[in-house]
A and B are shown apart, each in its own frame.
Chain A
Amino acid sequence: MVAFCEAMMARVADEPSRAGRHTPDGRHAPFGERCYNGPLLSVQGLHVAFKTARGHTEALTDVSFEVDRNEVVAVVGESGSGKSVTALSIMGLLPDAGHVTGGRINFEGRDLLTLDAKAMREIRGRDIAMIFQDPMTSLNPILTVGYQIAESLRIHKGMSADQARQRAAELLTLVGVPEAESRLDQYPHQFSGGMRQRVMIAIGLACDPKLIIADEPTTALDVTIQAQILELMKDLSVRLGIAMVIITHNLGVVARYADRVVVMYAGRVAEQGSAEAVFFRPRHLYTAGLLCSVPRLDSERRARLEAIEGLPPDLSKAQEGCRFAPRCPQAVAACLREVPALRPTDTGGLSACLRADELADGRVRWVGNAYGAAQPGQNEPAAPARKVLVRVDGLTRHYAVQSSWGGPNRTVKAVSDVSFTIDVGETLGLVGESGCGKSTVGRLLLRLEEPTAGRIEFEGRDVTHAGHGELRALRRRFQVVFQDPYASLNPRKSIGDIIAEPLRVHRITSGAAATRERVDELLAQVSLRPDLHDRFPHQISGGQRQRVGIARALAMEPSFIVCDEAVSALDVSIQGQIVNLLADLQEKHSIAYLFIAHDLAVVRHISTRVMVMYLGRVMEVASRESLYREPLHPYTRLLLEAAPTPDPVKEKQREAALIRGELPSPFAPPSGCPFRTRCPVADAECSLTVPELREVRPGHRVACLKI
């Protein structure tokens, strides 16, 4: 019988269109009568509350969705939407402070919430497995990888140590870990991040589960590794007939891998439906807004990003009406009053938007803040009056790393021989994977670190070794905005103090009243209310904090700002707000930016020129149009292809273009071209010389021998 079901599952997996199967009336049983008939997993009216210092927080309210056998369901939402809490509730792994206050979680017809601890343990790992976000912390550092994989086999399958070991080796091979047999006895720290996530997947697959829940499985990984891991998961789920729930905030990932999508907002399901329906015919205004606010690589760049204004609600307070209504440009009085129920839509999905029908017949659509359509010319490089502001020549930074336990001291070549210029009022985008040296370049420019070699010119002056006094004056001219809005503001200082301190120290304003006035002015420039003046960083949201960071940088009236992953930690809807703010400020004050990021789409949106780095070296520099339209370096090309775009049709047709292998260790970079070990066109010649950055087309420079 099992064999029969598996055969059925394999067939079902091949069915091209499965949209609409989940609607209450339209469901048909995919399996023979002797199998359990309903959906594999059915979450019904789930409520979860958390006890916090500030009282009761309603993390999930009336969450319902289903997952069928063999299906890949994506749960999407921004931080605080409750998507991870949903996953942990299904697994029965909520932290102590959280508890389910209502609803049911049926798995193969059994309500998991009524099971005792022992019965639940038997389901975990055997029937439902989970893959967590951060592979660096999710594996036990003092147990061998082999033990950790074999453990569930021994618990659930009663295998002997030898049997389990053999199966563990098979599993490691299955997930693409080379030399599996010998790596069983290694410890997690001997694996790279991507390899560790493969081990996590092997653990998940160990007992042939029926369902795998993956909580942001690739968020902590680089784009190229992310693509490898996701392709692996997709491939395995199809081959082994495992249903998957992918929890993610990345709409590109959803488009590429999900059959169905559940969109969550502020602890509730906003909309659900087939991937095609949700992406092309969203029936909730939040979904529509979210899709508009993602910068994407596959369509024409617009002058401005759409952004959803405002902030998600505070769930520790009682909620009324539609939770999205306060941020919704199309909200009507009823939206603020009644809580919309999930109702079937014309696309075969479910939506909790009162105006879903109007969205369907086109009477209502998302109206963002993007001031109409694209305005060509705006935000383009300003006229030919090009004046170089920053010139960097042969910048190099090597670190000597003292090893505390054995081995000789090693050198990390964080940045090698990097040269570029930034013009007045332009934005140079700097992209690359983690460890490519992009942040170090920023820190060197800011003189937070001393270069090992090379030359930095600012406004025509050599500032590479500027002394204390000169540096102090220079600090007013170049400023910085950091990635982590939590850590970049001193938690012990009020917002007002944070912005006022540079004004006082550099005597930009004189007197308390003038300073106060200027601070309010700066707060207004970054669209913050002056009453935030006496608040402390922990009392405001992430997006607001990032605005304060920008206001602090603006206080000095700089002509150059380094934005070090300035929007990477923010949710999509907030990210759009900040990117637009940066663009506005640039136009107004003609500030030049070095915009460091790993998200290629965001970089394309904001930059006039783009530079790509790999292992401390520049691979390619070009104008935005040239680089994105005709990338020349094989690395840039693969990088652009690895990033999934939020378009389910395109994504599902596209062949996966994978950058093979892992990022080499920065301690031992390959000889010659650093990318040659992973490059599809590399040959023996590439290992001999480090390719020079040369101009292939006007303004388009590439470091590759094969172009």
Chain B
Amino acid sequence: MPRYLGAKLLQLVLTLAGVAALIFLLLRVLPGDVVEAKYLAEGGNVSEEVLAAERTRLGLDRPTHEQFAEWMGGLVRLELGRSMWTGRPVAEEISSRLAVTMEVAVMATVIAIVIAVPLGIASALAHGSWLDQAIRVLTVAWLSVPAFWLGMLVLLGLLLVFEWGPPIEHISLFEDPLGNLTQLIWPALVVGARMSAMIARMLRSSLLEVLNEDYIRTARSKGVRESTIVARHALGNALLPAVTVVGMEFAFLLGGLVVTEQVFNLNGIGKLLIQAVGQNDFTLIQGLVMLFAVFFVSVNFATDLLYAALDPRVRLR
């Protein structure tokens, strides 16, 4: 096991290094830089000298390989540098927004699991019936609705029915739990509902597959009740692949909330990224992308470990 963990961790570090290199190179291809965005976007009339001085200050005039070395070197020391726009440390910019996004992501995942598991099981057990067909079509339909449009409709509904609009300011979970909940429950519902459709579909097909296995027939030949067969013999096997899917979806949620944050006007890291892209703020974009990648690979790693712990075939070799 330790040997495996070591190999896996090395692979993770390699992947992350690849992401770091990729994002750096992508951004240097980008036409323009933060200086242009800051001084020339509004049709500002700033002299070349000022621009050049600004570039020197931010280190943008140095050769690309030097900038690259600095970026990668910083990563090794776990330093992300300073935002080119605000001048504040990237880590600080990110951490002040991370809480909102994480909260929505966790809430959405919980909602998704709560909806998906009964739905998926019901659909598989009623295989071929009208209920199964209805759930199948509804989940596909649900997945076809754009998240931002759904968000807009929810806001519209809230406005028309309750005459309630989302507050502009973020309400902290620790200061006003109820206010925080009413603010974040709606985006979490929109995202969670979508995720639940994905998980329910996955669970349905894996449960159907398991129910066709030979060992289910063995259980029937022992005279085991159908309900016990599903609960003890089938569900455990069917949930294993679902663990991977939930992990994967959750891992993507951190970055995947970009659109939802925009709709609900939440000041999370997705919104921060949109802002940074608009401002050509290289250091901030790089930092955010690294955050998404680190989150993704570590959640996946954790999922792998969880899978190993749940599946005796992997656990006991």
Contact = CB atoms under 8 A, between A and B. Distances in A.
A131 to B, nearest CB: 9
Interface in B1-31: 1-4
Contact of B233 (A140, A186, A187): A140
A130 B237 contact: no
Interface of A: 91, 93, 121-126, 129-130, 132, 134, 137-143, 148, 151-152, 155-156, 186-187, 189-190, 200, 203, 403-408
A93 B308 CA distance: 33
B231 to A, nearest CB: 12
Contact of B218 (A121, A190, A203, A405): A203
Given A91-B221, A124-B221, A152-B223, A140 B316 contact: no
B215 A139 contact: yes
A139 B316 contact: no
Contacts of A126: 223
Contacts of A91: 220-221
A151 B316 contact: no
Interface string B200-218: 0000000000000111011
Contacts of B233: 140, 143
Contact of A124 (B1, B215, B223, B236): B223
B314 interface: yes
A408 B3 contact: yes
Contacts of A203: 218, 222
Contacts of B240: 142
Nearest to B308: A405
A155 B221 contact: no
B312 interface: yes
Given A140-B237, A407-B3, A408-B3, A187 B223 contact: no
B313 interface: yes
A121 B229 CA distance: 12
B313 A189 contact: yes
A407 B316 CA distance: 11
A405 B316 CA distance: 10
A124 B2 CA distance: 46
A322 B225 CA distance: 42
Contact of B215 (A138, A189, A406): A138
Interface in B246-297: none
A123 B223 contact: yes
Given A124-B223, A156-B223, A138 B314 contact: no
Contact of B214 (A134, A142, A189): A134
Given A134-B214, A140-B233, A140-B237, A406 B223 contact: no
Contact of B220 (A93, A137, A189): A93
A393 to B, nearest CB: 37
A152 B3 contact: no
Q: What DSSP secondary structure best describes chain B's contact surface?
A: helix
Given A140-B233, A189-B313, A155 B214 contact: no
B132 to A, nearest CB: 13
Given A189-B312, A406-B3, A137 B215 contact: yes
Q: Which of B215, B218, B232, B237 has the most CB of A within 10 A?
A: B218
Interface residues on B, range: 20 to 34
Given A132-B217, A140-B218, A143-B236, 17 more contacts: A122-B223, A123-B223, A124-B223, A125-B221, A125-B222, A138-B217, A140-B237, A141-B215, A141-B237, A143-B233, A155-B225, A189-B312, A189-B313, A189-B316, A403-B4, A405-B308, A406-B3
B311 interface: yes
A395 B120 CA distance: 54
A467 B217 CA distance: 51
A203 to B, nearest CB: 7
Contacts of A141: 215, 237, 311-313
A138 B222 contact: no
Contacts of A403: 4, 317
Nearest to A126: B223
A140 B313 CA distance: 11
Q: Which of B214, B221, B240, B316 has the most CB of A within 10 A?
A: B221
B4 A404 contact: yes
Contacts of B156: none
Nearest to A149: B222
Given A143-B232, A143-B233, A187-B313, A155 B217 contact: no
Contacts of B213: 137
Interface of B: 1-4, 213-215, 217-225, 232-233, 236-237, 240, 308, 311-314, 316-317
Nearest to B232: A143
18 contacts: A121-B224, A121-B225, A124-B220, A130-B218, A130-B221, A138-B217, A140-B237, A141-B215, A142-B240, A142-B311, A143-B236, A151-B224, A155-B223, A189-B313, A190-B316, A405-B317, A407-B3, A408-B3
B218 A139 contact: yes
Contacts of B224: 121, 125, 151-152, 155
A394 B1 CA distance: 37
A124 B225 CA distance: 11
A311 B214 CA distance: 29
Top 7 nearest A-B pairs by Cβ distance? A125-B223, A125-B222, A124-B223, A137-B214, A406-B1, A187-B312, A130-B221
Contacts of B220: 91, 93, 124
Q: Which of A122, A152, A405 has the most CB of B within 10 A?
A: A405
A484 to B, nearest CB: 20
Contacts of A186: 316
Contacts of A142: 236-237, 240, 311-313
Contacts of B225: 121, 155
A122 B224 CA distance: 9
Nearest to A135: B214
A138 B214 CA distance: 5
B225 to A, nearest CB: 7
A189 to B, nearest CB: 5
B303 to A, nearest CB: 14
Given A91-B221, A203-B222, A407 B312 contact: no
A407 B2 CA distance: 9
A155 B222 contact: yes
A617 B217 CA distance: 39
A203 B313 CA distance: 21
A126 B221 CA distance: 10
A164 to B, nearest CB: 13
Nearest to B4: A406
A187 B221 contact: no
Nearest to A123: B223
B317 to A, nearest CB: 6
Contacts of B1: 405-406
A122 B311 CA distance: 31
A189 B222 CA distance: 21
Contacts of B237: 140-142
A155 B225 CA distance: 9
A140 B215 contact: yes
A130 B311 CA distance: 27
A408 B220 CA distance: 40
B317 A406 contact: yes
Contacts of B2: 406
A152 B218 contact: no
Contacts of A125: 221-224
B221 A93 contact: yes
Nearest to A124: B223
A126 B233 CA distance: 19
Contacts of B214: 132, 134, 137-138
A559 B302 CA distance: 57
Given A140-B215, A408-B3, A151 B222 contact: yes
A138 B215 CA distance: 4
A578 B138 CA distance: 53
Q: Which of B2, B215, B317 has the most CB of A within 10 A?
A: B215
Given A134-B214, A137-B214, A142-B237, A152 B317 contact: no
A412 to B, nearest CB: 15
Contacts of B312: 141-142, 187, 189
